[in-house]
Structure 1
Amino acid sequence: MYRSLEYGDTARVIKPTDPVEYRLGTVTDVDYSTPHTTYARRYTLRFPKGDERTYPAAKVRRATRADDRAALEAALTSACVALRFACRIAHDYDADLSSGTASLLRRVVDLASLRLGLTLDPANPAWPQHTRNQDGGGR
Protein backbone atom coordinates (compact mmCIF):
# COMPACT_ATOMS: atom_id res chain seq x y z
CA MET A 1 0.00 0.00 0.00
CA TYR A 2 1.32 3.43 -0.94
CA ARG A 3 1.86 5.83 1.94
CA SER A 4 3.52 9.12 1.21
CA LEU A 5 6.09 10.61 3.51
CA GLU A 6 4.82 13.18 5.97
CA TYR A 7 6.32 16.19 7.71
CA GLY A 8 9.06 15.10 10.09
CA ASP A 9 9.69 11.71 8.44
CA THR A 10 13.28 10.84 7.66
CA ALA A 11 14.25 10.03 4.10
CA ARG A 12 17.20 9.50 1.83
CA VAL A 13 17.84 10.43 -1.80
CA ILE A 14 17.87 7.19 -3.83
CA LYS A 15 20.81 8.13 -6.08
CA PRO A 16 22.88 10.78 -4.30
CA THR A 17 25.01 13.04 -6.48
CA ASP A 18 26.96 14.97 -3.84
CA PRO A 19 28.06 14.52 -0.19
CA VAL A 20 25.01 16.35 1.20
CA GLU A 21 22.60 13.91 -0.44
CA TYR A 22 24.24 10.91 1.22
CA ARG A 23 22.99 12.18 4.58
CA LEU A 24 19.65 11.36 6.17
CA GLY A 25 17.19 14.20 5.58
CA THR A 26 13.98 15.28 7.29
CA VAL A 27 10.86 16.01 5.25
CA THR A 28 9.93 19.69 5.69
CA ASP A 29 7.42 20.07 2.84
CA VAL A 30 5.23 17.79 0.73
CA ASP A 31 3.77 18.91 -2.61
CA TYR A 32 0.72 16.90 -3.67
CA SER A 33 -0.46 16.69 -7.28
CA THR A 34 -4.00 17.78 -6.29
CA PRO A 35 -5.45 19.06 -3.02
CA HIS A 36 -7.47 15.88 -2.43
CA THR A 37 -4.90 13.16 -3.06
CA THR A 38 -2.41 11.24 -0.94
CA TYR A 39 0.11 10.85 -3.77
CA ALA A 40 3.03 13.20 -3.29
CA ARG A 41 4.62 14.86 -6.28
CA ARG A 42 7.67 16.39 -4.55
CA TYR A 43 9.36 16.39 -1.17
CA THR A 44 11.55 19.04 0.39
CA LEU A 45 14.26 17.59 2.61
CA ARG A 46 16.35 19.40 5.20
CA PHE A 47 19.77 17.88 5.72
CA PRO A 48 21.83 18.02 8.95
CA LYS A 49 23.89 21.06 7.88
CA GLY A 50 20.70 23.05 7.16
CA ASP A 51 20.56 22.64 3.37
CA GLU A 52 17.01 22.29 2.00
CA ARG A 53 16.44 20.66 -1.37
CA THR A 54 13.33 19.60 -3.27
CA TYR A 55 13.14 16.27 -5.11
CA PRO A 56 10.51 14.42 -7.15
CA ALA A 57 8.81 11.76 -5.02
CA ALA A 58 10.30 8.95 -7.13
CA LYS A 59 13.84 10.08 -6.20
CA VAL A 60 13.31 9.82 -2.41
CA ARG A 61 12.79 6.83 -0.15
CA ARG A 62 11.83 6.43 3.49
CA ALA A 63 14.87 5.74 5.70
CA THR A 64 15.65 5.57 9.41
CA ARG A 65 18.67 5.47 11.70
CA ALA A 66 18.35 1.66 11.66
CA ASP A 67 19.05 1.80 7.92
CA ASP A 68 22.18 3.81 8.72
CA ARG A 69 23.32 1.15 11.17
CA ALA A 70 22.84 -1.63 8.63
CA ALA A 71 24.79 0.36 6.04
CA LEU A 72 27.60 0.99 8.54
CA GLU A 73 27.80 -2.70 9.45
CA ALA A 74 28.01 -3.66 5.77
CA ALA A 75 30.64 -1.00 5.02
CA LEU A 76 32.84 -1.90 7.99
CA THR A 77 32.57 -5.61 7.16
CA SER A 78 33.59 -4.91 3.55
CA ALA A 79 36.47 -2.73 4.75
CA CYS A 80 37.66 -5.48 7.06
CA VAL A 81 37.57 -8.06 4.24
CA ALA A 82 39.51 -5.72 1.92
CA LEU A 83 42.10 -4.91 4.60
CA ARG A 84 42.57 -8.59 5.40
CA PHE A 85 43.50 -9.27 1.77
CA ALA A 86 45.72 -6.17 1.72
CA CYS A 87 47.53 -7.48 4.82
CA ARG A 88 48.25 -10.77 3.10
CA ILE A 89 49.65 -9.04 0.03
CA ALA A 90 51.60 -6.44 2.04
CA HIS A 91 53.21 -9.19 4.14
CA ASP A 92 55.16 -10.37 1.09
CA TYR A 93 55.69 -6.89 -0.34
CA ASP A 94 57.04 -4.68 2.46
CA ALA A 95 57.36 -5.18 6.22
CA ASP A 96 56.47 -1.57 7.09
CA LEU A 97 53.44 -1.63 4.82
CA SER A 98 52.41 -4.93 6.34
CA SER A 99 52.53 -3.65 9.92
CA GLY A 100 50.70 -0.43 8.95
CA THR A 101 47.95 -2.36 7.17
CA ALA A 102 47.59 -4.75 10.11
CA SER A 103 47.32 -1.77 12.46
CA LEU A 104 44.60 -0.23 10.29
CA LEU A 105 42.72 -3.55 10.25
CA ARG A 106 42.92 -3.71 14.06
CA ARG A 107 41.53 -0.16 14.31
CA VAL A 108 38.57 -1.01 12.08
CA VAL A 109 37.84 -4.11 14.17
CA ASP A 110 38.07 -2.10 17.42
CA LEU A 111 35.88 0.70 16.08
CA ALA A 112 33.18 -1.75 15.00
CA SER A 113 33.29 -3.38 18.41
CA LEU A 114 33.33 -0.22 20.53
CA ARG A 115 30.84 1.94 18.63
CA LEU A 116 28.45 -0.61 17.08
CA GLY A 117 28.83 -3.67 19.29
CA LEU A 118 29.85 -5.64 16.22
CA THR A 119 32.52 -8.33 16.47
CA LEU A 120 34.51 -8.66 13.25
CA ASP A 121 36.88 -11.60 13.21
CA PRO A 122 39.91 -10.57 11.12
CA ALA A 123 40.42 -14.19 10.13
CA ASN A 124 36.84 -14.40 8.83
CA PRO A 125 35.36 -10.86 8.75
CA ALA A 126 32.54 -11.70 6.36
CA TRP A 127 30.51 -13.08 9.27
CA PRO A 128 30.09 -10.33 11.87
CA GLN A 129 28.76 -11.28 15.27
CA HIS A 130 26.97 -8.91 17.61
CA THR A 131 28.63 -8.70 21.00
CA ARG A 132 26.56 -9.64 24.02
CA ASN A 133 26.12 -7.91 27.33
CA GLN A 134 27.21 -9.65 30.53
CA ASP A 135 23.67 -10.92 31.11
CA GLY A 136 23.73 -12.66 27.71
CA GLY A 137 21.32 -10.24 26.01
CA GLY A 138 22.04 -8.27 22.88
CA ARG A 139 23.08 -4.63 22.95
Structure 2
Amino acid sequence: MYRSLDVGDTARVVTPSDATEYRLGTVTDVTYSTPHTTHARHYTLRFPNGTERTYPADRVARRTRADDHAALEAAFTQAAVALRDACRIAHDYDPDLSSGTASLLRRLVDLTRLRLGLPLDPADPARAHTGTQDGGDQ
Protein backbone atom coordinates (compact mmCIF):
# COMPACT_ATOMS: atom_id res chain seq x y z
CA MET A 1 0.00 0.00 0.00
CA TYR A 2 1.28 3.46 -0.90
CA ARG A 3 1.66 5.88 1.98
CA SER A 4 3.19 9.25 1.34
CA LEU A 5 5.63 10.81 3.74
CA ASP A 6 4.33 13.39 6.18
CA VAL A 7 5.94 16.59 7.42
CA GLY A 8 8.42 15.61 10.12
CA ASP A 9 9.24 12.15 8.68
CA THR A 10 12.86 11.34 7.98
CA ALA A 11 13.93 10.38 4.48
CA ARG A 12 16.90 10.01 2.20
CA VAL A 13 17.50 10.78 -1.47
CA VAL A 14 17.45 7.45 -3.32
CA THR A 15 20.43 8.23 -5.59
CA PRO A 16 22.54 10.90 -3.88
CA SER A 17 24.55 13.20 -6.14
CA ASP A 18 26.55 15.14 -3.55
CA ALA A 19 27.64 14.98 0.09
CA THR A 20 24.51 16.73 1.37
CA GLU A 21 22.18 14.20 -0.22
CA TYR A 22 23.86 11.29 1.59
CA ARG A 23 22.58 12.73 4.87
CA LEU A 24 19.26 11.89 6.49
CA GLY A 25 16.76 14.69 5.84
CA THR A 26 13.51 15.76 7.45
CA VAL A 27 10.42 16.34 5.33
CA THR A 28 9.39 19.99 5.69
CA ASP A 29 6.82 20.23 2.88
CA VAL A 30 4.75 17.90 0.70
CA THR A 31 3.26 18.86 -2.68
CA TYR A 32 0.36 16.64 -3.73
CA SER A 33 -0.77 15.82 -7.29
CA THR A 34 -4.21 17.30 -6.64
CA PRO A 35 -5.76 18.90 -3.56
CA HIS A 36 -7.86 15.81 -2.77
CA THR A 37 -5.31 13.01 -3.01
CA THR A 38 -2.69 11.40 -0.81
CA HIS A 39 -0.30 10.78 -3.71
CA ALA A 40 2.69 13.09 -3.24
CA ARG A 41 4.34 14.75 -6.23
CA HIS A 42 7.28 16.48 -4.49
CA TYR A 43 8.95 16.49 -1.07
CA THR A 44 11.07 19.24 0.42
CA LEU A 45 13.81 17.90 2.69
CA ARG A 46 15.83 19.86 5.23
CA PHE A 47 19.27 18.40 5.82
CA PRO A 48 21.33 18.72 9.04
CA ASN A 49 23.45 21.51 7.52
CA GLY A 50 20.27 23.64 7.08
CA THR A 51 19.98 23.17 3.31
CA GLU A 52 16.45 22.63 1.97
CA ARG A 53 15.89 20.94 -1.37
CA THR A 54 12.79 19.77 -3.24
CA TYR A 55 12.72 16.39 -5.01
CA PRO A 56 10.19 14.41 -7.04
CA ALA A 57 8.51 11.84 -4.80
CA ASP A 58 10.13 8.89 -6.61
CA ARG A 59 13.62 10.19 -5.70
CA VAL A 60 12.93 10.12 -1.94
CA ALA A 61 12.62 7.10 0.35
CA ARG A 62 11.53 6.83 3.98
CA ARG A 63 14.55 6.12 6.20
CA THR A 64 15.33 6.18 9.92
CA ARG A 65 18.44 6.25 12.11
CA ALA A 66 18.19 2.45 12.32
CA ASP A 67 18.64 2.34 8.53
CA ASP A 68 21.70 4.57 8.96
CA HIS A 69 23.16 2.17 11.51
CA ALA A 70 22.78 -0.80 9.16
CA ALA A 71 24.29 1.16 6.26
CA LEU A 72 27.23 2.23 8.44
CA GLU A 73 27.85 -1.36 9.54
CA ALA A 74 27.94 -2.51 5.91
CA ALA A 75 30.19 0.35 4.79
CA PHE A 76 32.67 -0.07 7.66
CA THR A 77 32.77 -3.83 7.16
CA GLN A 78 33.61 -3.32 3.47
CA ALA A 79 36.27 -0.76 4.41
CA ALA A 80 37.82 -3.15 6.94
CA VAL A 81 37.96 -5.97 4.37
CA ALA A 82 39.66 -3.62 1.88
CA LEU A 83 42.17 -2.45 4.50
CA ARG A 84 42.90 -6.03 5.55
CA ASP A 85 43.61 -6.97 1.93
CA ALA A 86 45.76 -3.88 1.43
CA CYS A 87 47.70 -4.71 4.58
CA ARG A 88 48.47 -8.21 3.31
CA ILE A 89 49.65 -6.85 -0.04
CA ALA A 90 51.68 -4.08 1.59
CA HIS A 91 53.42 -6.61 3.84
CA ASP A 92 55.59 -7.77 0.92
CA TYR A 93 55.77 -4.35 -0.72
CA ASP A 94 56.92 -1.94 2.01
CA PRO A 95 57.18 -2.53 5.79
CA ASP A 96 56.25 1.07 6.66
CA LEU A 97 53.19 0.96 4.41
CA SER A 98 52.23 -2.36 5.94
CA SER A 99 52.45 -1.10 9.53
CA GLY A 100 50.57 2.10 8.65
CA THR A 101 47.80 0.12 6.96
CA ALA A 102 47.60 -2.27 9.93
CA SER A 103 47.31 0.74 12.23
CA LEU A 104 44.42 2.11 10.15
CA LEU A 105 42.69 -1.27 10.29
CA ARG A 106 43.12 -1.47 14.07
CA ARG A 107 41.75 2.06 14.51
CA LEU A 108 38.76 1.25 12.29
CA VAL A 109 38.03 -1.93 14.26
CA ASP A 110 38.28 -0.01 17.56
CA LEU A 111 36.09 2.84 16.30
CA THR A 112 33.32 0.57 15.03
CA ARG A 113 33.34 -1.43 18.25
CA LEU A 114 33.21 1.71 20.41
CA ARG A 115 30.74 3.85 18.44
CA LEU A 116 28.54 1.27 16.67
CA GLY A 117 28.90 -1.83 18.82
CA LEU A 118 30.12 -3.67 15.71
CA PRO A 119 32.63 -6.35 16.75
CA LEU A 120 34.79 -6.67 13.62
CA ASP A 121 37.52 -9.30 13.61
CA PRO A 122 40.68 -7.75 12.06
CA ALA A 123 41.70 -11.11 10.58
CA ASP A 124 38.29 -11.58 8.93
CA PRO A 125 36.22 -8.36 9.12
CA ALA A 126 33.33 -9.87 7.17
CA ARG A 127 32.75 -12.20 10.13
CA ALA A 128 31.82 -10.68 13.49
CA HIS A 129 34.38 -11.09 16.27
CA THR A 130 33.11 -13.30 19.09
CA GLY A 131 36.03 -13.29 21.54
CA THR A 132 36.00 -11.46 24.86
CA GLN A 133 38.58 -8.91 26.01
CA ASP A 134 40.70 -11.56 27.74
CA GLY A 135 40.90 -13.66 24.56
CA GLY A 136 38.37 -16.32 25.54
CA ASP A 137 35.22 -17.18 23.68
CA GLN A 138 31.82 -16.00 24.79
Both proteins in one fold, TM over 0.5: yes
The reply on whether 1:93 has 2:93 as its aligned counterpart is yes
State how far apart, in whole Å, the 2-side matches of 1:45 and 1:80 are.
32
The reply on whether 1:50 has 2:33 as its aligned counterpart is no
2:99 is paired with a residue of what secondary structure? helix
1:34 is paired with a residue of what secondary structure? coil
Structure 2 residue runs of 5 or longer lacking an equivalent are 133-138
User: Match of 1:137?
Assistant: none
Compute the displacement of 1:122 (Å): 1.1
User: Match of 1:106?
Assistant: 106
Q: What do the CA deviations read for 1:75-126 (whole angstroms, capped 9, x no partner)? A: 1100110011111101000110110000000000000100011110011111
User: Match of 1:73?
Assistant: 73
Q: Number of paired residues? A: 132
Superposed, which structure 2 residues align to 1:1-20 within 5 Å? Answer: 1-20=1-20
In the superposition, the TM-score normalised over structure 2's length comes to 0.92
Compute the displacement of 1:127 (Å): 1.7
State how far apart, in whole Å, the 2-side matches of 1:58 and 1:118 are.
32
One-letter amino acid of the structure 1 residue matched with residue 26 of structure 2 = T
User: Match of 2:135?
Assistant: none
Distance of aligned partners of 1:103 and 1:126 in 2 relative to their CA distance in 1, 3 Å threshold: same
Conserved in 2, the CA contact under 8 Å of 1:118 and 1:130?
Answer: no
Compute the displacement of 1:19 (Å): 0.8
Q: What do the CA deviations read for 1:19-65 (whole angstroms, capped 9, x no partner)? A: 11111000000000111101000000000011110000001000000
Conserved in 2, the CA contact under 8 Å of 1:12 and 1:60?
Answer: yes
Distance of aligned partners of 1:24 and 1:131 in 2 relative to their CA distance in 1, 3 Å threshold: farther
The reply on whether 1:119 has 2:119 as its aligned counterpart is yes
Compute the displacement of 1:131 (Å): 9.2
What RMSD in Å do the two structures reach over aligned CA positions? Answer: 1.5
Compute the displacement of 1:130 (Å): 8.1
One-letter amino acid of the structure 2 residue matched with residue 39 of structure 1 = H
In the superposition, the TM-score normalised over structure 1's length comes to 0.91
Distance of aligned partners of 1:62 and 1:130 in 2 relative to their CA distance in 1, 3 Å threshold: farther
% same residue: 75
Compute the displacement of 1:128 (Å): 2.5
Runs of 4+ in 1 over 6 A off after TM superposition: none
